[in-house]
Amino acid sequence: MWRLIVRRLLMSVPLLGVVSLLTFVLTALTPGDTARTILGESYTPEGYAQLRHQLGLDRPLIAQYGDWLAGAVRGDLGISPISGLNVSDQIVSRMGTTLSLAIVTTALATVFGVALGVMSAVRGGAIGRFVDVLSLTGFALPNFWFALVLVTVFAVHLRLLPATGYVPISASASGWARSLILPVVALAVHAVAVIAKQTRDGMLETLSRDFVFSLRANGASEVSVVFRHALRNAAIPVVTVIGLLVVNLLGGVVLIEAVFAMPGLGGLAVDATLQHDVPVIQGVAVTFTVMVVLVNLLVDLTYGWLNPKVRTS
């Protein structure tokens, strides 16, 4: 298992390098630059050239990237030329919001999705049709539109939940939970639909295998057959889907944070892009990439737990 972890981490190093390089080059090629953002609309060519020289923007791109990479390897993501704040501090201050959204959404979607999928496979009938309808609805509804509907109904008309903002759990556990309900529901509908559909299909295929009939013929309880044997055998594709959903959530969080005015990494990335704040854009891109690497590593470890044969591959 440790060999698997080390191998996956070593494989992630080139990925981080490629992502950071592409992000730097694509950002540099977009119209505008940091100097124009700082100076505003009225500036002289001399002042513009002087500021570009002070910021090092007149140097070759490879030299600028090399300086950033040298600092990033030491754990220094630089200073934002727009705000003057340390990039790492900005990311850390906003990471709690994004992680709360992603973790809570994934946990709830997994619980409800797997439960619905198992019940649909075992009982069928109305529950099976409900899962089909939920899947179609979850695929069709854009999460940002659904988020606006939730705000209109539960925050504006019913006034049951806050429409915007985020309360850290360290400040108030109840306030933290209330601030997450609407954005988590907006993100979770699609995830629940996908997980439920995958779980049901996997369970139906597993329950039709010969070993399940043998277990039942030998007197194994239905609970043991369903949860100990069938669900474990059907779990690997479900885990794969959950891993992909978590990665997609990191993209969906950007829109949801904007709808609910939550101070997360998505909002930080959007603001930095509008201001052409290269160090912040680089820092957020690398942070999201690290999250994706960790999610994939967790998926691989779960594979090993579910199927010991994977540990030796």
What values do phi and psi take at 210, rounded to 5?
-65, -35
pLDDT for position 175 = 93
pLDDT of residue 313: 52
Residue whose C-alpha is closest to residue 196's, from 143, 228, 232, 241 = 241
Q: What is the pLDDT of residue 120?
A: 85
In a 13 Å sphere around the CA of 35, the CA atoms on its Cβ side amount to 17
Task: State residue 282's pLDDT score.
Answer: 93
Tokens of residue 168, six digits: 């850290």
Give the pair of three-digit tokens for residue 215. 């277990």
The torsion angles phi and psi of 79, rounded to 5 degrees, stand at -120, 135
User: What integer pLDDT is reported at residue 58 of this predicted model?
Assistant: 85
pLDDT at 308: 66
Sites in the chain below the pLDDT cut of 70 = 1, 308-313
Closest CA to 57 of 25, 88, 28, 23: 28
- Superfamily of 88-275 according to CATH: MetI-like (1.10.3720.10)
Give residue 98's pLDDT.
92
What single-letter amino acid sits at 143? N
Count CB neighbours of 304 within 10 A.
16
Q: What pLDDT, on a 0 to 100 scale, did the predictor assign at position 55?
A: 87
pLDDT for the residue 109: 92
Q: Show the CA angle centred on residue 42, arms to residues 38 and 44, nearest 5°.
A: 90
Q: What is the pLDDT of residue 40?
A: 80
d(CA 193, CA 14): 34
**Domain limits, the chain:** 2-73, 88-275
Task: Report the distance separating Cα 106 and Cα 91, nearest Å.
Answer: 21
Cα dihedral 279→272→268→80 (10° resolution): 40
